[in-house]
């Protein structure tokens, strides 16, 4: 006798296998043109986020989500990683809104590298704690800086360290690496770091190397101020070779009229080291004007021995002043002349004018005008105020060739008074991808995301992959554009529809959401560190 199936079971059998319940996630970014951060062609599909992680990247599927972002016609990519930044006036501001870091968020940047040019504090753990307690909009990846270390141990003096002082410098770098720094940064162009010989730098860099760090440098000479661009690049390579660590050259360039056109020789020098098995990389900003200061651009390094008060004393000595002025005149020629320096400090009488224009206005020689500006001191009397400049010193041929190298990633070197702080990534996209077609869109994205994360060995960042942190940008391929200019450098970029940082919506339609989801991305404690 045949058994009859209950009616419900019969209907279920006729309907076929049960349809699986749709997965539930927090956010779906739906229907965009998705670049996953690798140097690969995009797909059209979805990115799904649960908590602070990406859980799915692929063709559109049936998913239940608390929030859906319509990305049709938009580009979806990993949040951009800025390889070299100076964001202190934002991330360390007493104003919580400023700490959201709008200049970078509006560009689609989710992670910034800090402590570069030798300015990173050795107190990495305490600094990270303060940043997280205050709330920041972007992730930060810290370096420990030679300038901070040398200044703490030796001060501003032009001399070699004693054996005891060298041991103290090394101990500070070891401490910072054990607290999570990514490596050791230098700015050997700037005093007091410029006073250090190569062997001092190597000895200290080894402390980072044995703890898995990299060497990141504003090299000693990007022009022909001292040892010259090519010899300076060879010094960088030597430091990495002797310290046995990867080296990364910040804002690679050929600066000034005497070295313009040397990019092929510069690149060949680096390629030779890479072919010999050395790990050498670089970053670059897409601007022909660097950001500097009147003193850094013009004053000879020896005149800064002892710091700003000693510089002013030298200005007051007629014989020394005459020597300084002679060298300043040569440095101004090297930079391209009086019209090549645009004075950019906010709120000063000379803001938006060239050094030449101010010299004419005051009836002074350009060097005397520069010294007049340098005599303006801040409230402490220790450092010059209002001396920022945009220095027009590069040419397209060099910048284009450097940008095409696969080992060069995107950076802003973003600092107050220069539009690169607000507009680097959209400028690179609009000018070098869309208008001049120097690089492709997929290359721009790869070398602003995945390639950068790989160079710095950032954990689960830089790619749109399941299990990776949900740093995701959605931007309009037509309207993503810079708005900041050299004269008006503080105008946010436009065209970012949404930016997620660690799974939280930090920017929507160009405006901050009020969320502060950024984190201090500290490296795991190396094995050769003392137990906490």
pLDDT at 377: 60
For residues 31 and 70, the answer to whether their CB atoms sit within 8 Å is: yes
What residue spans of 135-262 are helical by DSSP H? 146-153, 163-178, 198-209, 229-243
For residues 121 and 287, the answer to whether their CB atoms sit within 8 Å is: no
Say whether pLDDT at 452 is over 70. yes
Distance CA 358, CA 363 (A): 8
For 51-62, the pLDDT digits (tens) are 999 999 999 999
Tell me the three state secondary structure of residue 475. strand
pLDDT at 21: 73
Buried b / exposed e along 375-394 (16+ C-beta atoms within 10 A):
eeeeeeeeebebbbbbbbbb
Say whether pLDDT at 456 is over 50. yes
Q: Percent of the chain at pLDDT above 90?
A: 88
What does the pLDDT average to over 296-324?
Answer: 93
Distance CA 27, CA 55 (A): 10
Q: Give CA angle at 304 (345, 202), nearest 5°.
A: 105
Q: Percent of the chain at pLDDT above 70?
A: 95
Q: Mean of the per-residue pLDDT values for the chain? A: 94
Distance CA 239, CA 201 (A): 7
Q: Give CA angle at 159 (216, 316), nearest 5°.
A: 105
Place of tokens 């022009």: 223
| SS3 labels along 120-148 | CCCCHHHHHHHHHHHCCCCEEEECEEHHH
In the chain the first and final C-alpha atoms are separated, in Å, by 76
For 141-195, the pLDDT digits (tens) are 999 999 999 999 999 999 999 999 999 999 999 999 999 999 999 999 999 999 9
By 3-state DSSP, what share of the chain in percent is helix, strand and coil, each rounded to 5?
35, 20, 45
User: What's the token pair of residue 61?
Assistant: 């599927």
- Distances in whole angstroms, Cα of residue 369 to Cα of each of 325, 328, 342, 375, 376: 11, 12, 13, 10, 12
pLDDT at 307: 87
For 108-152, the pLDDT digits (tens) are 999 999 999 999 999 999 999 999 999 999 999 999 999 999 999
For 400-411, the pLDDT digits (tens) are 999 999 999 999
Helix (H) or strand (E) holding 420: helix 420-427
Residue 22 DSSP label = P
Confidence tier at 24 by pLDDT (50, 70, 90): very high
pLDDT at 376: 81
- Distances in whole angstroms, Cα of residue 439 to Cα of each of 162, 401, 462: 49, 10, 19
Q: What is the DSSP string of 48-69?
A: EEETTEEEEEES----EEEEEE
Residue 427 DSSP label = H
pLDDT at 379: 56
Looking at per-residue pLDDT, the higher value among 23 and 44 belongs to 44
Place of tokens 């090297």: 334
Say whether pLDDT at 412 is over 80. yes
For 213-257, the pLDDT digits (tens) are 999 999 999 999 999 999 999 999 999 999 999 999 999 999 999
For residues 286 and 403, the answer to whether their CB atoms sit within 8 Å is: yes
Neighbours of 88 (CB within 10 A): 12
Confidence tier at 331 by pLDDT (50, 70, 90): very high
Q: Among candidates 400, 415, 118, 387, which has minimal Cα distance to 254?
A: 400
Tell me the three state secondary structure of residue 469. strand
Distance CA 169, CA 285 (A): 31
What does the pLDDT average to over 298-322?
Answer: 92
- Distances in whole angstroms, Cα of residue 114 to Cα of each of 84, 109, 129, 222, 383: 7, 14, 15, 21, 22
Q: Distance from CA of residue 333 to its chain's centroid?
A: 29
Question: Is the C-alpha dihedral spanning 331, 334, 336, 337 positive or negative?
Answer: positive
Tell me the three state secondary structure of residue 281. strand
For residues 369 and 362, the answer to whether their CB atoms sit within 8 Å is: yes
> How do strand 75-78 and strand 472-475 relate by DSSP bridges?
antiparallel
Say whether pLDDT at 9 is over 60. no
Q: Give CA angle at 189 (242, 235), nearest 5°.
A: 25
> How do strand 75-78 and strand 64-70 relate by DSSP bridges?
unpaired
For residues 142 and 522, the answer to whether their CB atoms sit within 8 Å is: yes
Say whether pLDDT at 6 is over 80. no
Cα dihedral: 425, 427, 429, 430 (round 10) = 160
Tell me the three state secondary structure of residue 348. coil
Strand partners of residue 29: 47, 69
């Amino acid at each position: 006798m045949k058994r009859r199936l209950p009616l419900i079971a019969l209907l279920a059998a006729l309907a076929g296998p049960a349809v699986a319940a749709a997965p539930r996630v927090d956010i779906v970014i739906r229907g965009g043109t998705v670049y996953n951060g690798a140097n690969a062609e995009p797909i059209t599909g979805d990115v799904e986020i649960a908590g602070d992680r990406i859980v799915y990247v692929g063709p559109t599927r049936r998913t239940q989500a608390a929030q859906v972002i319509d990305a049709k016609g938009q580009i979806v990519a990993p949040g951009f990683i800025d390889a070299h930044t100076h964001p202190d006036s934002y991330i360390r501001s007493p104003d919580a809104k400023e700490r959201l870091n709008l200049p970078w968020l509006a560009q689609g940047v989710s992670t910034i590298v800090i402590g570069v040019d030798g300015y990173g504090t050795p107190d990495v753990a305490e600094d990270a704690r303060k940043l997280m307690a205050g709330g920041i909009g972007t992730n930060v990846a810290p370096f420990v800086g030679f300038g901070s270390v040398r200044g703490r141990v030796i001060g501003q003096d032009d001399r070699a360290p004693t054996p005891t002082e060298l041991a103290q410098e090394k101990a500070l770098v070891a401490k910072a690496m054990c607290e999570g720094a990514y490596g050791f940064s230098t700015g050997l162009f700037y005093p007091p770091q410029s006073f250090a010989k190569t062997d001092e730098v190597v000895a200290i860099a080894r402390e980072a190397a044995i703890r898995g760090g990299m060497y990141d440098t504003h090299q000693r000479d990007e022009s022909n101020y001292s040892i010259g661009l090519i010899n300076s690049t060879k010094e960088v390579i030597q430091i990495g070779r002797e310290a046995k660590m990867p080296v990364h050259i910040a804002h690679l360039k050929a600066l000034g009229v005497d070295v313009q056109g040397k990019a092929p020789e510069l690149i060949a020098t680096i390629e030779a080291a890479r072919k010999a098995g050395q790990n050498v990389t670089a970053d670059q900003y897409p601007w022909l004007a660097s950001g500097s200061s009147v003193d850094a651009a013009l004053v000879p390094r020896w005149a800064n021995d002892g710091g700003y008060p000693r510089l002013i004393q030298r200005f007051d000595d007629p014989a020394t002043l005459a020597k300084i002025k002679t060298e300043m005149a040569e440095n101004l020629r090297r930079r391209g002349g009086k019209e090549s320096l645009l004075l950019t400090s906010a709120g000063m009488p000379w803001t938006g004018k060239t050094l030449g224009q101010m010299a004419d206005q005051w009836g002074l020689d350009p060097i005397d005008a520069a010294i007049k500006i340098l005599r303006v001191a801040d409230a402490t009397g220790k450092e010059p105020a209002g001396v920022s400049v945009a220095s027009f010193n590069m040419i397209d041929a060099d910048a284009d060739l450097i940008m095409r190298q696969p080992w060069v990633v995107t950076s802003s070197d973003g600092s107050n008074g220069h539009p690169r702080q607000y507009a680097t990534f959209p400028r690179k996209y609009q000018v070098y991808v869309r208008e001049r077609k120097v690089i492709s869109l997929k290359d721009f994205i790869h070398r602003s995301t995945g390639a950068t994360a790989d160079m710095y060995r950032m954990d689960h960042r830089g790619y749109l992959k399941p299990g990776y942190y949900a740093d995701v940008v959605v931007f309009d391929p037509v309207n993503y554009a810079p708005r900041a200019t050299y004269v008006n450098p503080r105008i946010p970029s436009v065209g970012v529809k949404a930016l997620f940082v660690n799974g939280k919506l930090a920017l929507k339609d160009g405006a901050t959401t009020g969320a502060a989801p950024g984190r201090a991305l500290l490296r795991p404690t190396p094995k050769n560190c003392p137990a906490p």
